[in-house]
């Protein structure tokens, strides 16, 4: 599969490593331009290339957005038409600035991203695991210590594709509902956030929120 990754930091860079290892083609971008990503793509090997964010969005069948949430409006929305978008972002007001609709729980950061990328299908995933654990804790399917990641979204097919990618890099996926539901159920501060729990345990916690 072709995967665009926008944001080459802790989570974006780790996903680029895991997805190339799983055999996917990756095009990765940051805010400063592809020339600043030379060392990273050299390390990632021949399945990775450095591009602009517009090019990363155009390249991917799936496009990961992994940037500080407060900058989401900088994304070139027209380039995301028809794409499955993986939203790894979390809202941290001290980093992102205050968004009143989030502070008053009127909406979620993922719904705001979906509104901006209106012709894409956004799935929230990878927001609830520390990047070091994403890097280190992948396990083969069926392993007793395999942990699960909650995902949420409004499009069933998009969630199926994202769940399959998660499985390929060593984790189970657990459906936490729509963007509105899941966006609240696995955001910072919840019992699913940073849980590092098996699918059985995540499902148990989901039943109580």
Ligand X SMILES: NC(=O)c1ccc[n+]([C@@H]2O[C@H](COP(=O)([O-])OP(=O)(O)OC[C@H]3O[C@@H](n4cnc5c(N)ncnc54)[C@H](OP(=O)(O)O)[C@@H]3O)[C@@H](O)[C@H]2O)c1
Note the residues at the interface with ligand X (CB under 6 A). Answer: 6-12, 29-32, 53, 66-69, 71, 74, 88-90, 92, 127, 130-131
User: Minimal distance in Å, beta carbon 161 to ligand X?
Assistant: 20
Q: Which residue is nearest to ligand X, using beta carbons?
A: 9
Q: What does the CA dihedral 58, 61, 66, 67 come to, rounded to 10 degrees?
A: 20
- Eight-state DSSP code of residue 160: H
**Which residue's CB is nearer to ligand X, number 54 or number 140?**
54
**Which residue's CB is nearer to ligand X, number 130 or number 146?**
130
**Which residue's CB is nearer to ligand X, number 149 or number 163?**
149
**Which residue's CB is nearer to ligand X, number 56 or number 158?**
56
Q: How far is CA 170 from the centre of its chain?
A: 15
User: Minimal distance in Å, beta carbon 202 to ligand X?
Assistant: 16
User: Minimal distance in Å, beta carbon 174 to ligand X?
Assistant: 16
Cβ atoms within 10 Å, residue 206: 20
- The greatest distance separating any two alpha carbons of the chain, rounded to the nearest whole angstrom, comes to 47
User: Minimal distance in Å, beta carbon 187 to ligand X?
Assistant: 10
Q: Is 209 helix (H, G, I), strand (E, B) or coil?
A: coil
**Which residue's CB is nearer to ligand X, number 11 or number 157?**
11
CA distance 62 to 50: 16
Element (H, E) at 124: strand 121-124
> 185 with 150: CB under 8 angstroms?
yes
Question: Distance between the two ends of the chain, CA-based, in angstroms?
Answer: 34
**Which residue's CB is nearer to ligand X, number 73 or number 144?**
73
Residue 105 Ramachandran class (φ > 0 left, ψ -120 to 50 alpha, else beta)? left
User: Minimal distance in Å, beta carbon 71 to ligand X?
Assistant: 4
User: Minimal distance in Å, beta carbon 134 to ligand X?
Assistant: 7
Element (H, E) at 135: helix 131-136
């Amino acid at each position: 599969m072709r995967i665009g990754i926008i944001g080459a930091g802790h989570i974006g860079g780790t996903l680029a490593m895991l997805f190339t290892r799983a055999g996917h083609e990756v095009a990765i971008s940051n805010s400063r331009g592809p020339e600043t990503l030379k060392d990273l793509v050299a390390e990632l090997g021949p399945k990775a290339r450095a591009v602009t964010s517009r090019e990363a969005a155009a390249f991917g069948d799936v496009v990961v957005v992994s940037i500080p949430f407060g900058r989401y409006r900088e994304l070139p929305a027209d380039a995301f038409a028809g794409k499955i978008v993986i939203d790894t972002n979390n809202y941290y007001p001290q980093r992102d600035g205050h968004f009143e609709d989030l502070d008053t729980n009127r909406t979620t950061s993922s719904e705001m991203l979906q509104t901006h990328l209106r012709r894409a299908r956004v799935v929230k995933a990878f927001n609830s695991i520390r990047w070091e654990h994403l890097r280190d804790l992948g396990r083969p399917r069926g392993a007793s210590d395999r942990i699960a990641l909650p995902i949420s979204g409004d499009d069933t097919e998009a969630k199926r594709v994202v769940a399959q990618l998660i499985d390929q890099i060593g984790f189970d996926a657990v459906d936490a509902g729509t963007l509105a539901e899941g966006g609240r159920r696995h955001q910072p501060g919840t019992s699913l956030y940073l849980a590092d729990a098996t699918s059985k345990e995540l499902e148990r916690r989901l039943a109580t929120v």
